[in-house]
Structure 1
């Protein structure tokens, strides 16, 4: 996340803008699209074509990935990717990815993760990310995950108790919002933030009316089991955010504080997969 300039800081406090303006200044960094969808014979599903410049390639896993487009309540067409990692999945994970990446960059990670934890994964690109239309905004984030959620329910027929919501970094914002309104099998919050102002200005102690991403005020309404994961040396979203979110969760399970991990390397620690497997096997609703 980027900090605000002195001019923007003065404007924020002297004449507070709407939350979407703060959100765009703090958070959104959509990359150049790294993929495209190729229509199949039915015209309703797509295969994933990854750009050569994409850092992570999917090799032969593309045949296990089904793309489709869904319409949000705000009129944007968002790209969704259903990754079939196993034939008899324990859960389907609705994954909201972090900033500055899109489905093309994340697809290989999704397949590898799902195969290791015996879950299939559905992810989506936020408005303005990848080939999704529209512009990134806080309100669009909430509409985007809602559209992906309804696709899981109607297109694939998954019941709420079979769905686990996984949010990473900025992806924890729509994840908390959705989880505060629907009970699901489980919720995983990976490097969550309390609110936008608290990231930009760490000494902020309350949620202002013009704050963006107020997850700290929504997480107390989450009635599903919640696993919070955070690196103790996170240089982007301070560890204190994960701790505060954990303390506010009514049904929080034992968190995973990854000693020495930063913002982007938690997944490389051995305890990461071990804790995910434990959560999905014993603590999420079965």
Structure 2
């Protein structure tokens, strides 16, 4: 009898320990995707353009924050910019200021838990955030609803694919642009876990068991069509390797284009001036059709 009680006690203790380990592993895998910062950096270039502070609500009643940059003249188009997984919009705004100079309105927002946005980040939640941001963009001053572009960087590219594929406003999106996106949440998690000798043996069970793959862009990118799709990647990206964009391109339907810039770095395609010029021509052609 005493032996049975001791065995039961040990089994219960071991079960609690295993549940704790699984919880920590789950939290660790989820955190592969989110590195938010609440504090804004000083961004004089962004301040000079005097963005409009925009606060809006998500379907689950969180208040999010964004900046709306308005073109000085009549805008070529309005871009919803969905940023990557780290820091906040005060940093990521630096990636889009050149677009404002080129005559575009740009609306950039922070996911839940980033910057001045409420809540905590999660894979389900950030997709709600993007849809709420798109709906909000359509209400902003000077926005021509016939000239809407959705543009995602890195994690934002993955979010942008799901958003463009499923939003009730799909008919208003004239092109989807994604730069340095990964093709799947489980795949990129598995690749990152494989980079460390400690987590290498666990790369497959952890990525499959603890990563929500429902929103993976490779599952949804076919549904983006007939919205024109532009995929950009550098050929030397150590964060999200370029083969992810090839996977997405192969899975997508026409119309689609894949540009691979001969530069080094993550979300660095537009550091090449020739890519910027080509992009402006691409956008012009989209709105001439």
Question: TM-score by structure 1 length?
Answer: 0.78
Corresponding residue for residue 183 of structure 2? 194
Aligned length: 251
Report matched runs for 1:81-96 at 5 Å: 81-96=67-82
- CA distance 1:111–1:260, change in 2 (3 Å): closer
Note the aligned Cα RMSD (angstroms). Answer: 2.9
The partner residue of 2:105 within 100, 103, 120 is 120
Per-residue deviation, 1:211: 3.4
Report matched runs for 1:94-243 at 5 Å: 94-116=80-102, 118-156=103-141, 158=143, 160-181=145-166, 182-183=170-171, 184-202=173-191, 210-212=211-213, 213-223=215-225, 224-243=227-246
For 2:87 and 2:63, the matched residues in 1 are separated by 18
Per-residue deviation, 1:253: 3.0
1:255 aligned counterpart, secondary structure: strand
- CA distance 1:106–1:211, change in 2 (3 Å): closer
Per-residue deviation, 1:284: 5.1
Corresponding residue for residue 61 of structure 1? 48
Per-residue deviation, 1:143: 1.0
Corresponding residue for residue 10 of structure 2? none
For 2:29 and 2:64, the matched residues in 1 are separated by 19
- CA distance 1:61–1:85, change in 2 (3 Å): farther
Per-residue deviation, 1:60: 5.6
Q: Does the 8 A contact of 2:179 with 2:267 survive in 1?
A: no
Q: Does the 8 A contact of 1:31 with 1:102 survive in 2?
A: yes
Per-residue deviation, 1:193: 0.8
Q: Residues 92-111 of structure 1, C-alpha deviation per residue, up to 9 Å, x if partnerless? A: 00000112231222334433
Could you list the runs of 5+ residues in structure 2 that have no partner in the other structure?
1-17, 192-202
- CA distance 1:256–1:175, change in 2 (3 Å): same
Q: Residues 166-223 of structure 1, C-alpha deviation per residue, up to 9 Å, x if partnerless? A: 000010122111100223110001001111211122497xx96853341110111002
Q: Residues 241-277 of structure 1, C-alpha deviation per residue, up to 9 Å, x if partnerless? A: 0111111221343321012422143221123202211
Report matched runs for 1:1-12 at 5 Å: 11=22
Question: TM-score by structure 2 length?
Answer: 0.77
Higher helix share: 2
2:36 aligned counterpart, secondary structure: coil
Q: Flag the structure with larger Rg.
A: 2
1:28 aligns with 2:34: yes
The partner residue of 1:267 within 266, 270, 285 is 270
